[in-house]
Amino acid sequence: MATSAMTRWTRSLSEAQPVAYWLDDPGRPRPEPALTSAETCDLLVVGGGYSGLWTALLAKERDPRQDVVLVEAREAGWAASGRNGGFCAASLTHGLANGLTRWPDEIHRLQELGVRNLDEIEATVDRHALDCDFERTGEIDLATAPHQAAELRAAYDEAERRGLAEGIEFLAADAVREQVDSPTFLAGLHDHRGVALLNPARLAWGLKRACLRLGVRLYEHTPALTLKPYGAGMAVRTPYGSVRARRVALGTNVFPNLVRRVRSYTVPVYDYALMTEPLTADQRASIGWRNRQGLADSANQFHYFRLTADDRILWGGYDAVYPYGGRVRAEYDDRPETYAKLAGHFFTCFPQLEGVRFTHAWGGAIDTCSRFSPFFGTAHQGRVAYAAGYTGLGVGATRFGANVMLDLLAGERTERTGLEMVRRKPLPFPPEPFAWTGIALTKWSLARADAHGGRRNLWLRTMDRLGLGFDS
């Protein structure tokens, strides 16, 4: 029976294209020309994902007279910014629990700044008419095992005790299944306003268009090869040209940082997702989901899932694959064994949708750091700023990080730069083979905890004490 079921589930992948659904869009903009000359500017932004695009846009909004150049190695939004689930969260700390553990004294401020950041993203979508299917739906964290239900209840009680439960509601099993019907859902923690859903590639493309309208000079297919001091500023060499800039902001995230000492703070982790065909009216009715919230289960190896504007279901997560040596390669973007696993999990969650087919299956690399939330810094006497380590929650937090980089480059003491989260860095990852061994042992331990009522073994408890870890 199990073999028969798995055969049916894998058959649902027979027509799935190995390409990110969001990037498979006839509205994808044409790339801008590559840089083929020597340029000068006030601010050079390296990287055309969310981090770089927000930085360029905010720099022009702060001072329209500022001359801003952005260089991107491929095309804007082609990597993590165009491949993710489209969850735009208010959290700057990779969730309240992580923030409470690491920055308990400033968690209220971090929560306030995160909500303000999400509100400002929504305002930017309206102001610049960004066509990205933005919906302020909220999100439900789900329990699919009894110990997870107890953990969600405890998390809610802790948030309420600290005055951080506004807009959050604990849902028992019946209340969860009134929202979305799955036999696997045992409880939920409903954040009514703290998450928006959107089309991630269209957000990146919309930001690109907004930057161009404001006068940003944007060059695609222009990798930055070297970064060196030049007089009172910096010089970046590209294959066919160069840029001299007074200040440089690095938004390369998972790709090797031009400041070499920063590289040990992040590792790449490959995440994978499936997209269904559009659901029929009857299929939608069988699962409810009338309020269209984003969903994620609360296992260590978790799934995230959401509806698209045309009623497809994106289903992703669970496997988090770290390649030995931290290599980022195109061949890692496609992993059929993970797609088969995800398909089986999907139909276990929603047995009433058996027969639905997947149209797209894809993967991509995200950058993670040992504290699961972004870190920041400067180099070359404050002429260069960087932000990295978003760990899969960068759709919203990269805008905050862009503001931090601009504050740092201006040498300003602001409410952002004064945060301990901004002033301190995570612990770096060790060199190989220790990084691969530690990550593999942590992943094994997390899977074991999921299978044994959430009980954390000695390795995980030690990692917790050191402020380290690895989460799918």
More confident call, 210 vs 448? 210
Pairing of β 187-191 and β 313-317: unpaired
Q: How confident is the model at residue 6 (pLDDT cuts 50, 70, 90)?
A: low
Question: What is the arithmetic mean of pLDDT over 139-157?
Answer: 97
Q: What type of residue sits at position 223?
A: P
Question: What is the arithmetic mean of pLDDT over 282-302?
Answer: 95
- Exposed (0-12), middle (13-18) or buried (19+): which is 312, by Cβ within 10 Å? buried
Q: What is the pLDDT of residue 472?
A: 44
> Does an H or E element contain 154, and which?
helix 146-161
Q: What is the pLDDT of residue 227?
A: 98
Q: Give the number of other CB atoms < 10 A from CB of residue 421.
A: 23
Q: What is the pLDDT of residue 5?
A: 60
> Cβ(140)–Cβ(188) under 8 Å?
yes
Residue 198 has pLDDT above 50, yes or no: yes
Q: What is the pLDDT of residue 450?
A: 84
Angstrom distance (rounded) from CA 38 to CA 221? 16
Q: What is the pLDDT of residue 449?
A: 85
Q: What is the pLDDT of residue 469?
A: 57
Question: What is the arithmetic mean of pLDDT over 45-73?
Answer: 98
Q: What is the pLDDT of residue 392?
A: 92
pLDDT in tens, 301-330: 999 999 999 999 999 999 999 999 999 999
Cα distances (Å, whole numbers) of residue 151 to 138, 148, 285, 295, 469: 20, 5, 30, 17, 19
Angstrom distance (rounded) from CA 366 to CA 368? 6
Backbone φ/ψ region at 215: left (φ over 0), alpha (ψ -120 to 50), beta: left
Question: What is the arithmetic mean of pLDDT over 388-397?
Answer: 95
pTM of structure: 0.95
Question: Hunting for tokens 């440089």 — which residue is that?
Answer: 248
Question: What is the arithmetic mean of pLDDT over 348-360?
Answer: 97
Q: What is the pLDDT of residue 363?
A: 98
Q: What is the pLDDT of residue 8?
A: 78
Sequence-separated (6 or more) residues with CB below 8 Å from residue 18? 333, 334, 360, 361, 362
Domain boundaries, the chain: 2-25+135-196+266-368, 38-87+201-265+371-423, 434-466
Question: What is the arithmetic mean of pLDDT over 346-350?
Answer: 97
Q: How confident is the model at residue 4 (pLDDT cuts 50, 70, 90)?
A: low
> Cβ(258)–Cβ(224) under 8 Å?
yes
Q: How confident is the model at residue 1 (pLDDT cuts 50, 70, 90)?
A: very low
> Cβ(450)–Cβ(146) under 8 Å?
no
pLDDT in tens, 406-454: 999 999 899 999 999 999 999 999 999 988 898 888 888 888 888 888 8
Angstrom distance (rounded) from CA 363 to CA 83? 7
Angstrom distance (rounded) from CA 114 to CA 98? 14
Q: In the chain, what is the greatest distance between 2 CA atoms, to the nearest angstrom?
A: 71
- Whether domain 38-87+201-265+371-423 has CATH 3.50.50.60: the reply is yes
Averaged confidence pLDDT in the chain: 95
Residue 272 has pLDDT above 90, yes or no: yes
- Percentage with pLDDT > 70 across the chain: 98
Residue 2 has pLDDT above 70, yes or no: no
**For the residues of 255-291, what is the DSSP string, one character each?**
SPPSSGGGGGG-EEEEEEEEEEPPPPHHHHHHHB-TT
Residue 470 has pLDDT above 60, yes or no: no
Residue 463 has pLDDT above 90, yes or no: no
Q: Give the number of other CB atoms < 10 A from CB of residue 53.
A: 31
2-25+135-196+266-368 homologous superfamily:
D-Amino Acid Oxidase, subunit A, domain 2 (3.30.9.10)
Residue 83 has pLDDT above 60, yes or no: yes
Angstrom distance (rounded) from CA 431 to CA 250? 23
Q: Coil, strand, or helix at residue 72?
A: coil
pLDDT in tens, 149-171: 999 999 999 999 999 999 999 99
- Which of 107, 185, 108, 177 has the alpha carbon at shortest distance from 146? 185
Q: What is the pLDDT of residue 358?
A: 98
Query: What's the CA angle centered on 447, arms 445 and 452, to 5 degrees?
Result: 90
pLDDT in tens, 91-133: 999 999 999 999 999 999 999 999 999 999 999 999 999 999 9
Cis preceding-peptide flag for 428 (omega within 30 of 0): no
